[in-house]
Amino acid sequence: MKLIDRPYYLQQLIRIIGTPDIKIITGVRRCGKSKLMEQFEQYLLANYASSVIIKINFNLKEFRKYRTAESLEEYAESKTLPGRRCFLLIDEVQRCENFEEAINSLYETGLYDIYITGSNAFLSSSDLSTLFVGRQYEIPVYPFSLKEYMRYYDLSDPQSAFEQYFFDGGMAGAYLYPYTEERYNYIREIYETLIVRDIQQKYHIRNKAMLDQMIDYMLDNISNISSSKSISDNLIRKKVKTNDKTIGNYILYVCRSFLFYKVRRYDLKGKKYLETNDKYYVCDPVFRRAKLGTVNMDYGRTYENMVAIELLRRGYELYVGKLYQKEIDFVAKKRDEELYIQVSDDITDAKTFLRETDPLLKIQNAYPKILIARTHHPEYQYEGIRIIDLADWLADSNF
């Protein structure tokens, strides 16, 4: 498989070398966490030649005998040299029984700078503080951005690249397959054998059919306001025996596995979070196309999903804004920066253009307002609102 550098993530790892935390690379299955770990190992070998670099990949046969906490500790200790700095890199750590005991014990010695990756269901963000008692630093990794896709295929024009990327998605393992159907088969295999299997094992789910039906509903309703009750009511109408409590738990599980991301709603006037109804975005819309097909494509909602994941990729906190009876697709915050963003498919129709710009014009502050759509034109402004083509915006990133 062709490898490309992922400098944004690599620089994140480089910047935290030597910090007193357990560094954990998270993200959906097959999004490139292990390859990133390999690139980081090569960086260490080139720049920390006098240090001891201990690399363990529990996918490899040679490390099967170290799949207990005690044997993992013993292996790491056997590779440690007195007076030498030690980097400990562990891939697929969940394959080691009671791995958290070994990691915490090795951490306590103060001898190791520790970096790990693993199955999402077993290393979800909500579990990390419990597993490692608040000693962790998380590096979230996402599927390929448009810019990474262009680098992979040596493409220079964002417009034509976007047309390919829209259907191929950012799961780079699928790029090895020359035809679309085989690529989607690969994506479905990731979903079935890795993501859903992990969720079932972690949470002891017996009713896989219900989980599948719920995920299909969420995929079909990306970018729509949803709740556990609205989803359970829909499934009940389809003769599925369930309830909103069960669906609420299942939603939590798929979000913990980084298959979906929840974005809460925020009342801009009242300055408070709204308790009911959120939006859910899939980590890569290619899962939607692979699972549900391309017959009933909703480009506008898919574009919104793409923008949501790109904003998360760029490190923003994300909310759905509510102002009076209007909705702003995204309120994006990062430190002192704040953006208000609307996303649309086609704004050539005057009514559509006014509908999309009206909520932004009602926001009474000086923070940037942006309308992102497939304009196929250079950026321009309308009443202080930046109008940006989606492909250009996606390609204009640090990734």
Does 205 lie in the same domain as 119?
Answer: no
Angle, helix 208-220 to helix 244-256, in steps of 10 degrees: 80
With bands split at pLDDT 50, 70 and 90, how would you rate the model's confidence at 295? confident
Does 338 lie in the same domain as 201?
Answer: yes
Query: Is residue 305 domain-resident?
Result: yes
Q: Is pLDDT above 70 for 347?
A: yes
Does 124 lie in the same domain as 211?
Answer: no
Percent of the chain clearing pLDDT 90 (strictly above): 84
Does 88 lie in the same domain as 166?
Answer: no
User: pLDDT tens for residues 216-262?
Assistant: 999 999 999 999 999 999 999 999 999 999 999 999 999 999 999 99
With bands split at pLDDT 50, 70 and 90, how would you rate the model's confidence at 273? confident
Pairing of strands 136-140, 22-26: parallel
User: Domain boundary at 115, 140, 165, which?
Assistant: 140
User: Domain boundary at 97, 113, 140, which?
Assistant: 140
With bands split at pLDDT 50, 70 and 90, how would you rate the model's confidence at 397? confident
Say how many domains are in the chain. Answer: 2
With bands split at pLDDT 50, 70 and 90, how would you rate the model's confidence at 350? very high
Query: Is residue 1 domain-resident?
Result: no
| Distances in whole angstroms, Cα of residue 334 to Cα of each of 13, 141, 339, 386 | 20, 18, 9, 19
Residues 174 and 186: beta-carbon distance below 8 Å: yes
With bands split at pLDDT 50, 70 and 90, how would you rate the model's confidence at 135? confident
Helix (H, G, I), strand (E, B) or coil at 390: helix
| Alpha helix positions (H), the chain | 7-15, 33-47, 69-79, 99-109, 125-132, 146-153, 158-168, 180-189, 197-203, 208-220, 228-237, 244-256, 286-292, 299-313, 350-361, 390-395
Does 179 lie in the same domain as 95?
Answer: no
330 - beta bridge partners?
341
Does 108 lie in the same domain as 188?
Answer: no
So what's the pLDDT on residue 126?
A: 64
Domain interval for residue 372: 146-395
Q: Is pLDDT above 90 for 127?
A: no
Query: Is residue 117 domain-resident?
Result: yes
More confident residue, 272 or 43: 43
User: Domain boundary at 106, 140, 174, which?
Assistant: 140
Does 198 lie in the same domain as 157?
Answer: yes
Does 243 lie in the same domain as 103?
Answer: no
Residues 133 and 103: beta-carbon distance below 8 Å: no
Q: Is pLDDT above 90 for 157?
A: yes
Percent of the chain clearing pLDDT 70 (strictly above): 97
Which of 300, 253, 262 has its CA nearest to residue 282?
262
Which of 208, 251, 211, 203 has its CA nearest to residue 227?
251
With bands split at pLDDT 50, 70 and 90, how would you rate the model's confidence at 15? very high
So what's the pLDDT on residue 124?
A: 67
DSSP letter at 383 equals T
- What predicted TM-score, i.e. pTM, was given to this entire model? 0.94
Q: Is 154 left (phi over 0), alpha (psi -120 to 50) or beta?
A: left
